[in-house]
A and B are shown apart, each in its own frame.
Chain A
Amino acid sequence: MASSLKRRLVGMLASQALVVLLAAVGISSATGIFRQQALMREQLNGLARVVSANAVAAVEFGDPVAAAGTLGTLAERSEVVGARIDLRDGTPFAQFPLTQVDGVFASEASKMFDDSAVVFARKVRVEVPIEGVGRGSHDGEIIGKMTVVADLSGMWASIRRDLTVTVLSCVALFLLAVAVALRMQRRITGPVTALAGAAKSVAESECYDVRISRESDDEVGELVTCFNEMLARIRERDSRLTEHKAALEDTVAKRTAQLQVALEEAQAASRAKSEFLATMSHEIRTPMNGVLGMADLMRSTRLDDTQKHYAEAIVQSGRHLLGILNDILDFSKIESGKMTLESVPFDLHEVLEECLAMFAHPAATKGLELVSQFSPAAGEVSVIGDPFRLRQVVMNLLSNAVKFTDDGVVMVRVFVYCRRAGQVSFRIEVADTGIGIAQEAMERVFQHFTQADGSTTRRFGGTGLGLAICRRLVTLMGGSIALESEPGAGTTFIVDLTLPEGEAVRTAEEPDLSLVGRKVLVVDDNGINREILRQQIESWGMTVVDSSDARDAMAQLERMGTEEDRFDLCVLDMCMPDVSGLELARQIRACRRFDGLKLVMLTSVAEALDAATLRSAGISRCVSKPVRRSDLLRIVVSAMGDQKEAPVQERSSVSVGEPLRGWKVLLAEDNETNQLVAMGMLGQLGCSVAVVQNGQEALERLARESFDVVLMDCQMPVMDGYEATRAIRRFEGDGGSRLPIVALTANAMPGDRKQCVEAGMDDYLAKPYTREQLRLVLSKWLPEPIREPEVVDLGVEQFGGGSGDASEGEEELVSSESLRELRELDPTGALNLVERMLQTFVSGTSERIVELRDAVSARDAEAISRCSHWLKSSATNLGAHRLAEAFREIEEQGRLGTVDGVEARWARAQEYHAKVIAEVQRLLAQRS
């Protein structure tokens, strides 16, 4: 680039010089030629005139010799090659040189040399007239003409010389100009080249410390200055950037550290929250188990109406509390993203039937019809998902439906609408005929802590979390939930889900071949129920005829009178207008023709019938609604297999005639209250119980004895339930029988179930549980189901109440109520609950009494408080309320740290204690 600039600059200057020089040469040459010619012309003309003047006389006198002599003077001029005088008439008069041939004067040989223009010919001629003289006024008369011919070679040679000199000078000047241009160019391009080089080196090295020295004050100098300034600025900026970058890195590092700390804190907080939730769950569930279990047990004892009412209230409140607790736990789990869904194969219909079964009772008590419709009606729909959570959703919807419906129908519809590529798409609809939801409240109900409106909260209660949880659960499952409603006309919740299709979880129902082709008459006033029953029964290959009332049913029976066409089975709905199912049964039995017809009664839970009534009506089986398909199949098969006239009551598939059998249950539980609850419930269910304190003891006990089932608390000292279960499973090995182990846990955190299953447990029962839940679980794992216990009348009086000795006006020392409760927990007395309780009291308190006495004499407030607390609890458990009160006062004083006057209280307490011990000893003596 620099070389190009240099070349261009030099070229420009040189060409300029060249042009100027060429112009100068041209002009000087032209003027030189012109001037030389003009001079020559002037000279020749002058000469010719002078000579002609001299020759005039010769011409006048006709003296050619003289004329020739005159012409001879021209010889002085070297360039003159010839001259001639012609007379006026053209006659040649004289010429010079005399010997010259005529050709010289021929007009072709030479060019006229006059003023007109530059002549480039070698030979020129000049003509001047010869004028006569002495003619007076006629002077100037032309008497002849003189012609001079000149050879301009000399002049041209001179011009050529001049030109040569000029051109040579020009060449020299041009070279000089180029040399000067080169020098000058160096002065201009030098700084530019240096600048370019510096810029290039800066660009290559990125080193901005380079400075270029300024050598001139022109634009290039200014450019250099600007360039230097620019470099300085860049360098400054560069350094600022570097500083900024460093600062930024620092900041980022600092921020990252802060964020790390914050993240760790947040994670720690989250962990703490989760742990808190788990702990709270456990801590709350343990006493809740006591409350609910005991209340549940209490309900089944002999109570007067008021007591029954109170007990019911306790159970209801407890369950409600438990529900709220569960809701809150679930919600916080979902909110914190800790909700994980299981993926296990399950039967959709079974899950929904279980839900329906759980709402059978509440629906019936409210007088609601609870109906279900499955499509397809037959065959299982096995899907992979979380049955527990799906059940929770459906139960929530059902619970709402039942809660907000005063009369009418609650209906559950399930239909599979797409089975493709291993995916099952289905819709669950829960419709009611309740109060409905206003349009504007529809979206709100899915938000947490919100119900349709404030007033419903007042009227119906509830946390408002249920639907929020439902929506989140359904969303977690990848489905959607929506609702359609019209205020006053009812609400329909619609759940759409698509789950992977599962393997069959149980062997497909193989319809009993004995059922195929049999004829069934279904009598029900409810069309939907009729249709459902028809679909179910027909799916087993039976022929169904339905009838909406008793009259029509009788007519149908009459019509099919012949042997081949007769009905084999009649399914009756208990509750029908006009003629009830029971009445219809009686009518049927009244006709001897229908002796071979088996009757199955469908009842609501609320309208339980006693066995005697059923027997008298000739009903073979009785099943409560809603009817589970599997139950119905079992009932139908067993009814068909019955010998005629062998009516037995079926209640939820439990045969009344089942022989009692004392299943042996091992209970591993460290908490005393929970031991008592479990023992009480198991006792009522007719099981014998062995109790151990921890897993280790359980293992030892199992080594000695054999049990039918183990109830295993998960968290125990020494060895927990998981560890114990794993040990048992190891001991069992691959072959041999497998001992059913049911986990009992107060933890409601996710993964509990999974952890239990992984440890080798078969089932899972969350505390608090009801006797019914316990029964259902045990029924699942025992070889035969356990019947529901009747209300037992244990006759407290036969053991003798503690109130016997209580004098009038004085509070009894040991509450007879407490003793009765204990006895009712142990109706058969096999566990010696009361005795053990009493003995524990005697042995336990006597040690503590000594401790307390020492504490009192030492005036140790802390020890007083601790000992009296323990004694207070023991006295309370026994029902020795006055003694408990006395200890409570001492404890109070101990806790406050004021031991003044504690001796008086101690003396009173001691006195009470002695009396209670005496009473206990008396009771024990009486018992044995």
Chain B
Amino acid sequence: MGLQKVGSRVVRAVGAVLAGLSFHAYGEALPESDVKAAFVLNFIRYSEGMQTSGDELRVCSVGASPLEGRLSALTGRATNHGTVTVVAPTTERDWRDCHVLFVGSAERVAPALTSLAHRQVLTVGDSAGFAQAGGMIELKLRAGRVRFVVNHGAVKQAGLRVSSQLLKLSDEVYP
């Protein structure tokens, strides 16, 4: 009797796990970096005000191999601002030519944000406290899932606009 009880509980637990897995399969199916890269692309799509010229949207990456190189895979993807080109500038000045700046390492957050102040460049980072530091969109993990936070004040300060939908999906919005 006891054994049976234990057995049924196990089965139930397994079932529940399986059921949960299947339910969230989509979110967990991709590696974290791929999801973050897709999120960057979506951020571009749901934002406006980047000063692009021609049909090129330059996405600059700061840090060593940001998103395990997955960011570069975005090159060639079409957006409403133009085709994505992922670059890794070597100088700080080069960042100014970017339309989107992804900061992949915590130590480089402050100099990047400082050099790009008042520049119409969308800044995205995945280090903790990025948004607090004045970055515009911060990627983070919560409960195993990739989530994000929007610093709406920084966006507006830079003369950019993000979609209300993005705001709605964000975990937190800093004014």
Contacts and interface: CB of A to CB of B under 8 A. Distances in A.
A842 interface: no
A66 B169 contact: yes
Interface stretch (A28-36, A132-140, A147-155, A551-559): A132-140
B103 interface: no
A100 to B, nearest CB: 15
B53 interface: no
Residue in A62, A87, A93, A135 with the greatest tally of chain B CB atoms within 10 Å: A62
Contact of B45 (A63, A66, A134, A137): A134
Interface stretch (B7-15, B64-72, B76-84): B76-84
Interface in A31-83: 54, 56-58, 60-64, 66
Contact of A137 (B26, B42, B78): B78
A93 B29 CA distance: 14
Given A133-B45, A135-B80, A137-B78, A58 B169 contact: yes
B39 A61 contact: yes
A507 interface: no
Contacts of B168: 57, 66
B163 A57 contact: yes
A57 B27 CA distance: 15
Contacts of A138: 78
Nearest to A67: B169
Contact of B46 (A63, A133, A136, A139): A133
Given A57-B168, A57-B169, A60-B45, A135 B78 contact: yes
Contacts, number: 48
Interface string B148-171: 000000000000000101101100
Q: Could you tell me the dominant secondary structure of chain B's interface residues?
A: helix
In this complex, the member of B81, B82, B168 whose beta carbon has the largest number of chain A beta carbons within 10 angstroms is: B168
Given A135-B79, A138-B78, A61 B169 contact: yes
A54 B163 CA distance: 11
B44 interface: yes
Contacts of B163: 57
A62 B45 contact: no
Interface string A104-141: 00000000000000000000000000000111111100
A63 B45 CA distance: 16
A3 interface: no
B26 A134 contact: no
Interface in B6-45: 26-27, 35, 39, 42, 44-45
Given A57-B46, A61-B39, A62-B26, A136 B80 contact: yes
A91 B29 CA distance: 13
A630 B27 CA distance: 181
B80 A139 contact: yes
A56 B79 contact: no
A135 to B, nearest CB: 5
Contacts of A139: 80
Contacts of B26: 62, 64, 87, 91, 93
Interface in B67-103: 78-83
Nearest to B24: A64
A134 B80 CA distance: 5
A51 to B, nearest CB: 13
Contacts of B44: 134
A57 B80 contact: no
A136 B82 contact: yes
Contacts of B39: 61
Contact of A57 (B35, B81, B82, B166): B166
A650 B52 CA distance: 201
Contacts of B81: 136
Instruction: Assign chain A's interface to a size class.
Output: 20 to 34
Contacts of A63: 169
A215 to B, nearest CB: 83
A289 B171 CA distance: 189
Contacts of A136: 78-83
A138 to B, nearest CB: 5
B169 A134 contact: no
Given A57-B163, A61-B39, A135 B169 contact: no
Interface string A132-174: 0111111100000000000000000000000000000000000
Contacts of B80: 133-136, 139
A440 to B, nearest CB: 151
Contacts of B27: 62
B118 to A, nearest CB: 25
Nearest to B81: A136
Interface string B119-163: 000000000000000000000000000000000000000000001
Contacts of A61: 39, 42, 169
Nearest to B25: A91
A132 to B, nearest CB: 8
A57 B165 contact: yes
A134 B79 CA distance: 5
Nearest to A54: B165
Contacts of B46: 57, 133-134
Nearest to B170: A61
Contacts of A57: 42, 46, 163, 165-166, 168-169
A139 B169 CA distance: 21
A560 B55 CA distance: 197
A606 B144 CA distance: 199
A142 to B, nearest CB: 15
A135 B44 CA distance: 10
Contact of B165 (A56, A64, A93): A56
A695 to B, nearest CB: 178
Contacts of B166: 57
Interface string A772-814: 0000000000000000000000000000000000000000000
A56 B82 CA distance: 21
Contacts of A91: 26
Most buried by A among B44, B81, B82, B165: B165
A58 B26 CA distance: 13
Interface of B: 26-27, 35, 39, 42, 44-46, 78-83, 163, 165-166, 168-169
Nearest 7 CB-CB pairings of A with B? A134-B45, A57-B165, A136-B78, A134-B80, A136-B80, A138-B78, A60-B42
28 contacts: A54-B165, A57-B46, A57-B165, A57-B169, A58-B165, A58-B169, A60-B45, A61-B39, A61-B42, A61-B169, A62-B35, A66-B168, A66-B169, A87-B26, A91-B26, A133-B46, A134-B44, A134-B46, A134-B80, A135-B45, A135-B78, A135-B79, A135-B80, A136-B80, A136-B81, A137-B78, A138-B78, A139-B80
Given A62-B27, A136-B83, A139-B80, 15 more contacts: A57-B168, A58-B165, A58-B169, A62-B35, A63-B169, A64-B26, A66-B168, A133-B45, A133-B80, A134-B45, A135-B80, A136-B78, A136-B79, A136-B82, A137-B78
